[in-house]
């Protein structure tokens, strides 16, 4: 029959070839992922089983206030939101490991909405979910109106898109930030957390952000994930920070970037949380306790080198980490960034990052 319809024949052949190509590529892509590691059950992780938290315990150095959003919906969009669990859990444990008690507060108090992205969850994050003290604090957050700023050495604003709606105009937040900042204590904020800073005026009449170097979730990061963000959010955070006189430090999309301006420390995205929290500890006058760097953080280092110095240098770093130093690299994160490049239409980077993921897999297999 197909001999009578050559166009149909070649159309079907082309479609079949494309399907085979897509399926083959999909299988190859899946094969690049650390499937054995991904099968590990981290859901039962406990803080007491993590050496960083249970060994060489540091005596009490005071208290840090972590602030999370109470907002569960992005404006009128109907899209759910809340605070990002990983941005709280990782900072919480850095502060705890370094001798600080952590209180959790929110605009409304009580149990705020939380966003849990299973693709981002690792050992510390599941330990947080299994930690009865941490869970009590996040289920019974302190209402911001009841916070006494003088009780704390630092305040840390957790990200989550909900923060864009209930942080900027909150008078209690503005008062807490002003008091802690003017006492030369430490202000930290990550991702959308810096939205807490956009309306803070100091006692001398100047805006907190005037001439300060800051980072936050960028316009590019926001608009890639939510193309209609400008109509959903009250503002784009990067634009608002700049409009208030800040000098915006923009790093590579979805990679670790922090800005450290005296006692004001801000981070660009969730991958900046570890470094931001440890920088806060340094600003408080202490050397951060030794912590084994995670495979995710090592993957971020590789991606940074790839972006700044190219594939060859990135492969050299992979060799150093995997072979010379016997450290782990989270290939899932490497592969995720290739997908991001594809979403942006950057085909060269898409295949370049896939090649880097493949290289890391082969090195891990042969070490």
Indicate if 179 and 210 belong to the same structural domain.
yes
Residues 171 and 240 in one domain: yes
In a domain, 36, yes or no: no
pLDDT at 160: 96
Task: Give a yes or no: residue 134 inside a domain.
Answer: yes
314 and 266 in a common domain:
no
Number of domains in the chain: 2
CB atoms within 10 A of CB 148: 10
Tokens of 108: 């409304």
- Mark which of 236, 256, 284 sits at the end of a domain: 284
Give the helix/strand (H/E) hosting 42.
none
d(CA 225, CA 85): 19
Residue 40, domain member (yes or no): no
Task: Give the Cα separation of 96 and 46 in Å (integer).
Answer: 14
Say if residue 112 is in the same domain as residue 226.
Answer: yes
Nearest to 63 by CA among 96, 101, 90, 20: 101
Q: Is the dihedral of CA 228, 229, 230, 233 positive or negative?
A: positive
Domain end call among 284, 306, 327:
284
Same-domain pairing of 339 and 223: no
CATH number assigned to the domain comprising residue 180:
3.40.50.880
pLDDT at 2: 45
pLDDT of residue 335: 86
At 159-211, the pLDDT tens digits run 999 999 999 999 999 999 999 999 999 999 999 999 999 999 999 999 999 99
Report phi then psi at 115, rounded to 5.
Answer: -105, 120
Which pLDDT value is given to residue 365? 76
Q: Let me know whether 117 and 243 are in one domain.
A: yes
Contact 241, 230 (CB under 8 A): no
What is the DSSP annotation of 103-122?
EEEESS-B---EE--TTT--
Regions in the chain scoring below 50 on pLDDT: 1-2, 5, 8-10, 13, 25, 28
Looking at the structure, tell me whether residues 237 and 346 fall in a common domain: no
**Any domain includes 16:** no
pLDDT for residue 3: 52
Q: Are residues 118 and 156 in the same domain?
A: yes
Q: Which residues of the chain form beta strands (DSSP E)?
A: 63-67, 83-84, 101-106, 114-115, 142-143, 154-157, 186-190, 213-214, 247-248, 258-261, 264-267
Q: Note whether residue 70 is domain-resident.
A: yes
Domain for residue 58, yes or no? Answer: yes
pTM as predicted? 0.90
161 lies in the same domain as 255: yes
Q: Is 276 found in the same domain as 299? A: no
- Same domain (yes/no): 277, 317: no
Using one digit for the tens of pLDDT, what is the confidence trace for 121-160? 999 999 999 999 999 999 999 999 999 999 999 999 999 9
Classify residue 358: in a domain, yes or no. Answer: yes
Note the helical H segments in 156-248: 163-166, 171-182, 219-225, 229-232, 237-243
Residues 197 and 345 in one domain: no
Q: Cα(335)–Cα(30) distance, rounded to whole angstroms?
A: 9
Q: Which domain holds residue 358?
A: 294-366
Look at residue 9 and tell me if it is in a domain. no
Final residue of a domain: which of 284, 307, 332?
Answer: 284
């Amino acid at each position: 029959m197909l001999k009578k319809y050559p166009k149909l024949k070649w159309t079907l052949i082309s479609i079949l070839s494309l399907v085979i190509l897509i399926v083959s590529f999909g299988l190859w892509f899946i094969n690049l992922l650390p499937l054995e590691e991904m099968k590990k059950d981290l859901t039962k992780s406990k803080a007491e089983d993590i050496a960083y938290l249970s060994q060489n315990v540091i005596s009490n150095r005071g208290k840090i206030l972590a602030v999370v959003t109470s907002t569960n919906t992005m404006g009128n969009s109907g899209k759910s939101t809340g605070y990002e669990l990983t941005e709280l859990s990782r900072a919480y444990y850095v502060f705890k490991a370094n001798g600080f008690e952590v209180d959790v507060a929110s605009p409304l108090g009580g149990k705020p909405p939380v966003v849990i992205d299973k693709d981002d969850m690792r050992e510390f994050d599941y330990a947080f979910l299994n930690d009865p003290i941490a869970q009590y604090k996040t289920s019974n957050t302190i209402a911001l109106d009841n916070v006494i700023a003088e009780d704390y050495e630092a305040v840390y604003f957790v990200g989550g898109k909900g923060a864009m709606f209930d942080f900027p105009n909150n008078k209690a937040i503005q008062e807490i930030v002003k008091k802690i900042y003017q006492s030369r204590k430490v202000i930290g904020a990550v991702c959308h957390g810096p939205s807490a800073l956009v309306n803070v005026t100091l006692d001398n009449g100047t805006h907190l952000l005037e001439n300060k170097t800051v980072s936050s979730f960028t316009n590019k990061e926001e608009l890639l994930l939510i193309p209609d963000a400008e109509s959903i959010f009250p503002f784009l955070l990067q634009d608002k920070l700049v409009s208030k006189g800040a000098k915006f430090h923009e790093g590579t999309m979805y990679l670790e970037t922090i800005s450290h301006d005296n006692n004001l420390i801000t981070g660009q995205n969730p991958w900046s949380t570890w470094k931001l929290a440890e920088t806060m500890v340094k600003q408080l006058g202490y050397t951060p306790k030794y912590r084994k760097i995670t495979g995710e953080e090592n993957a971020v280092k590789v991606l940074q080198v790839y972006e700044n110095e190219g594939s060859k240098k990135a492969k050299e770093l992979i060799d150093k980490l995997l072979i010379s130093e016997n450290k782990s690299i989270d290939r899932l994160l490497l592969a995720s960034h290739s997908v991001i490049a594809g979403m942006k239409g950057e085909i060269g980077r898409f295949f370049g990052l896939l090649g880097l993921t493949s290289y890391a897999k082969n090195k891990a297999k042969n070490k």
